[in-house]
Amino acid sequence: MTIEARSWTRPEAVAFNRLPMTTFLRDPSEVVSLDGVWSFTLLDRPGGAVRAEATVEVPGCWTMQGVGDPPQYTNVQMPFPGPPPRVPDENPTGVYRRTVEVPAAWAGRRVVLHVGGAESVLYVAVDGTFVGMGTDSRLPQEFDLTPHVAPGSPCELTLTVVRWSAATYLEDQDHWYHAGLHRSVLLYSTPPAHVADVRAVADWDPDTGHGSLEVQVTTGEAPARGARLRVALDGAVVGETAARWEHPTSEPVNAYVFAGRGGVVRAAVPEVAPWSAETPRLHDLRVELVAGDGDVLAKTSRSISDEISRPADAKLKIKLRADHTGAVTVIGPKNHTEPDSAVYDLKWSATRPSIRIVDAEAAAASLRPCGTARDSQELVTRQGGSCRAGVALMRGWRNADNPHRYRGYRCGDVPGVHVEFARGGRWFASWQCSKSSTTYQIWTAL
């Protein structure tokens, strides 16, 4: 594969042949993981001389795997001289190769490559044939491999990652610069007519106890004329609508009338239990694409919650609960950029109780390390009353300027973890220890 026209230096070259970004909805039975050991070649620049050859782990940054290209920390300066969008000619480029065999059972279905994160520009090829490219280091990228693979037969998948690009200027912040495939890589399969994306908006009226639900469903490109979209909540159907695709012959209709593939289902949900951090009640949402004869062509499910909107001042209240031994069982939040831990060690002194990250299996299961150094940031509370030391599970995090892995968001639903998306201004949480009724406040600059 050759990389033409120095596309990594062009700000307008954001993506080519990349699928629209959607919520990851695949069932595990439709997924083949490509995590593990990959063959790796480090070049001094795209298409340049070989600097190193090795095997590396995916997910993982090559800057942390001893191939001779270390991480680089910057604060207010760029890691290379400008001006934008100029990038250096010597530009470390990693070429990942792996032999992949698409399951024979996927014959007649779509085959999609999902790359959870690549820093900073990704190029995809199958058996030497260019498939597509994309920027966006902290967003998943997907490419349709259906025309390039034969189920039941092996092929060589090549993922080329260029470290510095025009996009680096947009992604710059005070952090460690790494490079490589720092999130999971996988293949998944769908039927030709499928549900591509689901956006569910749930609300709850505290005065009546009733909820409302709006589900916006996006279908794939392949049409299933006469099909309907059916939505069920906690096993009961709450609504359905006709699925839309482009008009097969009328360009004016598609240009001026067509509202997009899929459809919207709205429903009232009486006497629904709301979500809160203390009682994180979730509801099972199921979306089906149903043919005219009643056959289910595609389906997906997820958990949602009916939640009261946050106050305008964005204050977030989280309670500390202490048992008779003084062990704290609930705490939060954390400002982080994909750390390898999400559990804190509370160290209380007479005047300044502080909170430090420690390792935890629960965190590692939901927020996988991306090769960065351990985040040792300490959050210091205001002087307050006494509370005995204990270990507590994080109850909230802020995304620290970057989107995170989809499994990280999902893990927040069940235990009642708040996720903060805001950037800019000041944000704080009020923590209360029920044993002493003393409130501590934490400030962190965003």
pTM above 0.85, yes or no: no
370-301-411 Cα angle (round to 5): 35
* 78 φ/ψ angles, rounded to the nearest 5 degrees: -70, 155
DSSP for 82-126 reads: -STT---SS--EEEEEEEEE--GGGTTSEEEEEES-EESEEEEEE
Q: List, for residues 351-387, the tens digit of each pLDDT value.
A: 333 333 333 333 333 332 222 222 222 222 222 322 2
DSSP for 256-311 reads: HT---SBEEEEEEETTPPPB-SSSB--EEEEEEEE-TTS-EEEEEEEEE---PPPP
| Predicted pLDDT at 413 | 61
Separation of alpha carbons 344 and 376, rounded Å: 10
* 3 state SS of 416: coil
| Predicted pLDDT at 273 | 80
% pLDDT > 70, the chain: 67
Q: List, for residues 280-323, the tens digit of each pLDDT value.
A: 778 889 999 999 999 999 999 877 765 433 322 222 222 333 33
Other Cβ atoms less than 10 A from the Cβ of 118: the count is 30
Separation of alpha carbons 291 and 301, rounded Å: 18
Q: List, for residues 153-195, the tens digit of each pLDDT value.
A: 999 999 999 999 999 998 887 778 999 999 999 999 999 999 9
pLDDT at residue 102 is higher than 80: yes
Query: What domains are there in the chain, each with its CATH number?
Result: 7-190 (2.60.120.260), 195-304 (2.60.40.10), 316-445 (no CATH)
Residue 152 gets the label, from left (phi > 0), alpha (psi -120 to 50) or beta, of left
Q: Which of 211, 218, 216 is nearest to 234 (CA)?
A: 211
Task: Indicate the residue type of 128.
Answer: G
Q: Which of 256, 94, 105 is nearest to 191 (CA)?
A: 105
| Predicted pLDDT at 147 | 97
Report which DSSP code applies to 415: T
